[in-house]
Amino acid sequence: MTIVVTGATGNVGRPLVAALAAAGAPVRAVTRAPRTAGLPAGVEPVGSAAEALPGASAVFLNSRALGDDLESVVARCVRGGVRKLVALSAINADDDFARQPSRFRGDRNKEVEQVVVDSGVAWVSLRPTVFATNFAGMWSPQIRAGDAVFGPYARASTAPIVETDIAQVAARALLTDELVGQRIPLTGPQAFTNAELVETIGAVLDRPLQYREIPNAAVRQRFLGLGFTADFADAYIAMLAATLDAPALVTHDVEKVLGRPAVPFAQWVAEHRDVFARAT
C-alpha cells in the first residue's frame, strides 16, 4: 500500500523518501515543485496532499509543509481510510510557545501531535531535538569568515540529532506497527554546550574555533541579519536559557528503534565540512 510523505524535499522528508524507496515501498512525495524534486526512481512526486492521498495506507505529516491545511488533510486521511499517521513533532512540544523557536518558522508541533492522537487512526509522534543542520544555518557564515562564533549562553546545552536518523525512525514507524501509540523523544548520542559544539566543529576542520558569548540584544540583531524574525530570536534565546540549570536531555530511542547508535555530531560535521569551509 502507498505511503505519502509531506514535506518530501525537506531535511527529514528527503532522506525519509529515500529510505522508504530503498525498502521497496510505493511512495508518493508531496512537494511544491514535483517536476524538479530530484527524487529516487520509482517515487511518485505530487503537488499537493489532496492529490496524494487516494489509496494511501500511511501518511507522514510535516506541519510546516502543510501549513493551514493540516487539520483538513488529517480529516481527509480519516475519511479515506488511511491506516496510520506519523507526525513530525518536537521534543519541546509541551513547552511554553515562547521557548519554541520553530513555531515562528511554521512548525505546529503541539497541534500536529494532538490532531493525530484525536483522529482515531493508529498514530506515532516523533519528537526530535534540535537538528544538526540548524547549526549550519546559524553558524556557518561566521565559521567561513573567521575563527569565532558569537552567540548567547556558552554553557547552554543541546543534544543535536542528524536528520537521517529521524528519517530512519520515521521509516520504521511507517513500515511497521512496532511504534504505534508512542511519542518518541529523539536526540543525538551526546549533549554539548555551545562552546563544546564549536570546539567539535573546529576539531573536525582542524581549526582553532572558539565560541564567544555576547549579550542577547546582539544575538537578536545577528538573527535578524540572517533573515530570522525577532520572535524566533527571542524564543531561541529563551530556549537556551532554560538549559543553563537543566542540561539537555539525551535519549537512546534512536538506538532502541534502529538497533544502532545515533550518528555523532562530529561525524555529521565531517560529512558536511564543505558547509563550514573557510571562504576563499
pLDDT, residue 280, reads: 62
pLDDT, residue 62, reads: 98
E strands present in 82-193 = 84-88, 122-128, 148-151, 157-158, 183-186, 192-193
Q: What is the side-by-side order of every strand in the sheet holding 183-186? A: 44-46, 27-30, 2-5, 56-62, 84-88, 122-128, 183-186
CATH of 2-129+163-186+251-257, one of 3.40.50.150, 3.40.50.720, 3.40.50.970, 3.90.600.10: 3.40.50.720
**Residues 91 and 249 sit within 8 Å (Cβ to Cβ):** yes
pLDDT, residue 127, reads: 98
Please give the model's pTM, rounded to 2 decimal places: 0.96
pLDDT, residue 64, reads: 97
Could you tell me the residue ranges of all domains in the chain? 2-129+163-186+251-257
Q: What is the CB neighbour count within 10 angstroms for residue 90?
A: 26
Q: Which CA distances in Å does 250 have to 20, 157, 217, 270?
A: 27, 11, 30, 22
**For the chain (length 280 residues), average pLDDT per consecutive 10?**
95 98 97 88 95 97 97 97 98 96 95 98 98 94 95 97 98 98 98 98 96 96 90 96 92 98 98 87
